[in-house]
Amino acid sequence: MTRDPSFDTVAVAALDDAALVRALRAHALTLDAAEARRVRELLGRDPTLTELTLFDTMWSEHCSYKSSRPTLKEFLPTTGSNVIVGPVEDAGIVDFGTVDGVRWGVIIAHESHNHPSQVMPVEGAATGIGGIVRDVYCMGGEVIGVLDPLRFGWPLGEGGAHRLDIAREVVTGIWEYGNALGVPNLGGDVYFHPSFDDNCLVNVVALGLVPADHITHSAVPAQARAEPYDLILVGKPTDWSGMGGAAFASATLDAGAAMENKGSVQVPDPFLKRVLTVANREVLRLARERGIVVGFKDLGAGGVSCVTSELADAGGFGCDVDLALVHVAGDDVPARVIACSETQERYGLAVPARFTAEVLKVYNEDFALPDLYEGACARRIGRATDDGIYRLRLGDRVLCEAPIATVTCGIAYARAEAPPPPPAPAPARAAEAPDALIAAEWVRLVGHLNAASREHLYRHYDPEVRGCTVLRPGEADAGVVAPVPGSVLGVAVSVDGNPLVGLRDPYQAGLRAVVEAARNVACVGGRPAAVTDCLNFGNPEDPEVFRQFREAVRGVGDACRGVTLHARGGEPLPVVSGNVSLYNQSAAGRTVAPSPIIACVGNVADVTLCRSQRLKAAGDRLYLVGLPDGASGATLAAEAGLVFGRDVLAPTDLDAARREIAAVCDLAEAGLLQAAHDVSDGGLAVCLAEMALGPRGREPLGAVVALPEACRGLTLREFLFGERGGFVVEVAGPDAARAEQVLAKAGAVWACLGEVVDSEALTVRDAAGREVVVELDELELSWREGLTRVLAARGLPDPADRVEPPVVVDEPAAPVAFVAGARPRVAVLQLPGMNCEDESARALTAAGARAEIFRWTRPAAELADFDGYLVPGGFSYQDRVRAGAVAAKDPLLEALLAADAAGKPILGICNGCQVLVEAGLVPGLARGRVEVALAPNRIPGRRGYFSRWVVLEAVAGSRCRFLEGLPRTLPVPIAHAEGRFTHEDPAFFARLRDEGLLAYRYAAASPQGEGPGNPNGSLLATAAMTNPAGNVLAIMPHPERAAWLFQVPEDLDHPWGRRRRELIGEHGALLGAGPGLAVLRRLVELC
């Protein structure tokens, strides 16, 4: 066995600086000579190699904020009357509201995974999601959403293919992890710019919810002074992966050493994370039930050494940790790697010694971690001590022994700051091209990579999982969820940050990012409640870069004090969490654009009033809230080569912005908004185009607008393409007078802009009678294809088995009644990796069942006691081999085969559908055998996961008993990567149809044949099938995610979409039955 140098003492005092640096680099440590000597000074002796490795992590920029902390403290407001937990733990928490006597908090965390994603894009992006959700879970909460602000290099020209691959693979990493974990993706943004050619930025935001009295802290509790507390490590076995990750993230990225750096990137496993998430929930429940206080923290940078030292120090304790007790992958892992590796999917807990055995049982027996993943388990690895010493050992051999405050105290630098650049001379107003060219410029602008539709990206992500989504990506400026069942309180969240502004003026970049994120939240009726920041910059040792950083942070702070908490007496908008990512530059010295990226979370008083941004009805009035000034500096139009206005940044009036945001929130809460959209990238031109365009299928609406009196000094280009910021709001004609009173009362600057018209064009007129008319079909083609034509996967033909879906006839949306009387007992199977059991059980309960989640570790024989069964969606057993194949061999499926033989009803949804197919329950011609395949989606131009709403049509002559009494068509969402029903002989599906074994097929959504259609290339557009007895329904779409009316997109071209629009503000109706509940009701009725 190779000798382990972890215990070696490094002769810091005896080595000169050059020799010391060589010794440090020989062990892949990034400490400089002065820092190593400081370690020796603190310890009072030469350190061991393990101690130097530990300090290398703890003193990295990533962990210590050694260059940024003083600036953050100087400029950012972090407290407020709504702040429950500020930026002192893994995530911040702000007040959400009280429902039925329970006070809830919204958790928000913000991180970056930039360097890892540049080197290994799939793994880097995936572990970014994995790390940020752990921060929420460790606060005792449930993740209710994630967002992903992304920045990529320019994908065209020389080197563009590599940068394009990075973008595609980052998206793959995000969907592979987030979708498998079962957290909804609520938004994000993406920019392409040459400054990111060598350093992409992958920022991640996680949103959570927690009852205020369930909050868990990342500290050994004070109760450890009265009784002994153990330290428990749970999760994946420790290995070499991620070793040195924090230091890697805190250094200049050297593309030439990319292969060497791959070992610093963690290896993700969302399947294990999902099982751990459910197990953690059970441990915390048991602790609350017993009145036990625990400490809980995830293992990120620094691994075991970091989590144990920080847990203990935060509580005012020391600790004794024995690395010999840590579960490892293999026998050749050195002690310092066991101590400091950033192996993913691990948590640390501090629990009373009397509770330890029960905690270990939950993980190791009740959730059977050792059986699911080789080497995974929970183990006691140490204990809290009251001597204030951090003691790290391997058996009897000591690796580190020091005052714990020494280990965790960090380090700080006073970086040099360059002087501000001299003011530039005022530029002249540009000479413009003829107005006749504006329409063509408008069309070109909406197709720019940084303005075009992001649908190609967000369709990879699942926004519906958990069943509480109100507004999804692409529907509005912010995502909205209603996370507490039965309550109309909601959370709105958005991200923003503009690299073009960052290059021009970092102060304005920070300021505008806050203002625009707050505007986005206001568009859906959210009152800004808090922000987080991710500050992405180059090398802080460069005085100019450090000046940019300080200016951006100053801008963020000023904006927070300017926007304020409207409902709390003008307090500053608090910054409750965040991250600093420095050294985002290449070895050649190329630095990313200064990129302060802001996430804003807002409180929505009534989600039934939330509206999409799409134009609603001809005759509605359009208002401009906040007026443009025509400056062209750092605008998207100028970046696209359009010439207009003066090349200066438009000023941001924070007092005006505060009043405008308040006014739009007031309009929303009064139920006066039909639609709202912020004016930002691309100016009014892109804003109006995005309001006119949207989901295919609905009759298009245009607009006629005129330059307001206050804008008469602007040219048409200045009016359309300037980016000073503001809103366009749509108000129904009869509500116009009330809306104008609300705007005036708020003190906002506003003007009548025009009206919505029944036309397929946008028309803009000035006072002189000049007008620009642009056809919506031209805008739509440019906007929809601008990004897709670059990112789309090549070489994927339209499948030969793709058929035109049938045309359906319009029919009324009729909600089913809730079941009264007998409540049959229905089991919701919880196989490891499934992630839809909670919302499925909730919907079943609403449909009249006594729903019970049945964990895979329970005896399969107990399933016989149930009246019906639901196999939910997710990624059972990680979908190894192929989707559903391993789960079909689980003993629980033998019990389902017996239940089927007894005629009991069985419903399989998405992954559950795949499991039923693999188990031979459907189509059931040769029962128990796999007769059809659910293959990867086959969609021209794209690969992988696909998520959207579709319309199902019942197949005539189907034997499926679930269909009896149901409407012929149902709108429901799909979210899958392997959902294509197929067979080597296409005629086999014709036989299934003729024998009545097909249940639902994908259908067009309107008589014109437009709409979602066949989304994955299934034979005969098959979406669901049954068995000969008709008691089993295997369906790929998700009816449980359409169980309530508020879940239905209001822009959906179906009677249920119209019903959703017509009932805006009606609490009872929108919190009542949606189209999918009918399917679950049938399961209950068949029991």
| Rounded mean pLDDT, 1060-1073 | 96
468 pLDDT higher than 60: yes
Let me know whether 316 and 345 are in one domain: yes
Q: Is residue 806's pLDDT more than 70?
A: no
The pLDDT, as a whole number, for residue 410 is: 84
Q: How confident is the model at residue 996 (pLDDT cuts 50, 70, 90)?
A: very high
Examine the domain organization and report whether 407 and 435 are in the same domain: no
The CATH number given to whatever domain includes residue 399 is: 3.90.650.10
Q: What does the pLDDT look like over 507-516, one tens digit per residue?
A: 999 999 999 9
Residue carrying the six token digits 């499948």: 799
Residue 1004's pLDDT is 67
- Residue 698: pLDDT band (50, 70, 90) is low
Predicted confidence at residue 881, as pLDDT, reads: 78
Asked if omega into 923 is within 30° of 0 (cis), the reply is yes
777, 792, 807 — which closes off a domain?
Answer: 792
* 841 φ, ψ (degrees, to nearest 5): -65, -40
Given 62, 110, 193, 217, the catalytic residue: 62
Cβ-count burial of 1082 within 10 angstroms (0-12 exposed, 13-18 middle, 19+ buried)? buried
**CB contact at 8 A, 722 and 759:** no
Neighbours of 365 (CB within 10 A): 13
Q: In this structure, is residue 155 part of a structural domain?
A: no
Instruction: Classify strands 490-496 and 346-352 as parallel, antiparallel or unpaired.
Output: unpaired
Whether 406 and 437 share a structural domain: no
One domain, residues 755 and 669: yes
Round the CA-based radius of gyration of the chain to a whole number and report it: 29
Residue 9, in any domain of the structure: no
The reported pLDDT for the residue numbered 265 is 53
Q: Are residues 434 and 378 in the same domain?
A: no
Same domain, 899 and 998: yes
The verdict on residue 761 lying in a domain is yes
Q: For residue 820, which amino acid is it? A: A
Does residue 1008 sit within a domain? yes
Q: Are residues 835 and 729 in the same domain?
A: no
pLDDT at 861 over 70: yes
Looking at residue 860, its pLDDT comes to 96
The domain boundary residue, chosen from 376, 411, 446: 411
For the stretch 338-356, pLDDT in tens is: 999 989 899 999 999 999 9
1004 lies in some domain: yes
Query: Is the pLDDT at 622 greater than 80, yes or no?
Result: yes
pLDDT digits (tens, 9 = 90+) for 384-393: 999 999 999 9
Q: Is 785 in the same domain as 903?
A: no
Based on the domain organization, do 406 and 457 belong to the same domain?
no
Is there a single domain that holds both residue 781 and residue 864?
no
Within a domain: 570: no
Last residue of a domain, one of 385, 411, 437: 411
Domain count along the chain: 3
Q: Helical H runs in 153-264?
A: 160-181, 245-249, 258-261
Q: Quickly tell me which residue has 């009145």 as its tokens.
A: 291
Which pair of structure tokens corresponds to residue 24? Answer: 């440090």
Residues 775 and 503: their CA atoms lie apart, in Å, by 34
Tell me how far apart the alpha carbons of residues 951 and 1053 are, in angstroms, rounded to a whole number: 9
Q: Is residue 3 part of a domain?
A: no
Alpha-carbon torsion 774, 777, 780, 782, what sign? Answer: negative
Model pLDDT for residues 469-496, shown as the tens digit of each residue = 999 999 999 999 999 999 999 999 999 9
Give the C-alpha distances (Å, rounded to integers) separating 1011 from 91, 599, 693, 699, 1021. 41, 33, 14, 11, 14
pLDDT at 263 over 50: no
Question: By residue range, what is the domain housing residue 359?
Answer: 216-411
How confident is the prediction for the chain on average, in pLDDT?
A: 93
For the ranges 113-127, 327-341, 797-811, 830-844, the lowest mean pLDDT is seen at: 797-811
> Of the given ranges (1-5, 384-388, 665-669, 1037-1041), which has the lowest mean pLDDT?
1-5
The two structure tokens encoding residue 842: 């909730």
Q: Catalytic site residue 113?
A: yes
| Beta carbons of 676 and 663 less than 8 angstroms apart | no
Question: How crowded is the C-beta side of 233, counted as CA atoms within 13 Å?
Answer: 29
- Residue 266 is predicted with a pLDDT of 53
- pLDDT, one tens digit per residue, over 391-436 is 999 999 999 999 999 999 888 899 999 999 998 898 999 999 999 9
In this predicted model, what pLDDT tens digit does every residue of 623-674 receive, in sequence order?
Answer: 999 999 989 999 999 999 999 999 999 999 999 999 999 999 999 999 999 9
Q: Where are the beta strands (DSSP E) in 445-540?
A: 469-471, 479-481, 490-496, 526-536
Q: Are residues 721 and 852 in the same domain?
A: no
Q: Which helix (H) or strand (E) holds 357?
A: helix 353-361
Confirm whether 62 is a catalytic residue: yes
Do residues 668 and 694 share a domain? yes
Spatial strand order of the sheet with 142-152 comes to 83-85, 92-99, 102-112, 201-211, 142-152, 185-192
Q: Which pLDDT band holds residue 187 (cuts at 50, 70, 90)?
A: very high
Q: Is the pLDDT of residue 535 over 80?
A: yes
| Helix (H), strand (E) counts: the chain | 34, 37
Region for 500 from its dihedrals, namely left if φ exceeds 0, alpha if ψ lies in -120 to 50, beta otherwise = alpha
The DSSP code sequence of 1000-1023 is: EEEE-SSTTS-SS--SS--GGGEE
For residue 245, pLDDT beyond 70: no
Cβ atoms within 10 A of the Cβ of 280, count? 24
CATH of the domain at 982: 3.40.50.880
- Helix residue ranges, H only, 606-715: 636-639, 654-669, 683-692
Which of 387-401, 526-540, 576-590 shows the lowest per-residue confidence on average (mean pLDDT)? 576-590
The region that residue 621 occupies, defined by phi over 0 for left and psi between -120 and 50 for alpha, beta otherwise, is beta
754 backbone φψ class: left, alpha, beta (φ>0; ψ -120 to 50): left
pTM of the model: 0.95
Tell me the C-alpha distance between 243 and 343, whole Å.
Answer: 8
- Report percent pLDDT > 90 for the chain: 85
Measured between alpha carbons, how far is 637 from 857 in angstroms, rounded to an integer? 59
- Is position 541 within any domain? no
* CA proximity to 977, closest of 935, 1033, 931, 948: 935
- Calculate what percentage of the chain has a pLDDT beyond 70: 94
Given a cut of 90, whether residue 279 has pLDDT beyond it is: yes
Active-site option among 113, 217, 1038, 1054: 113
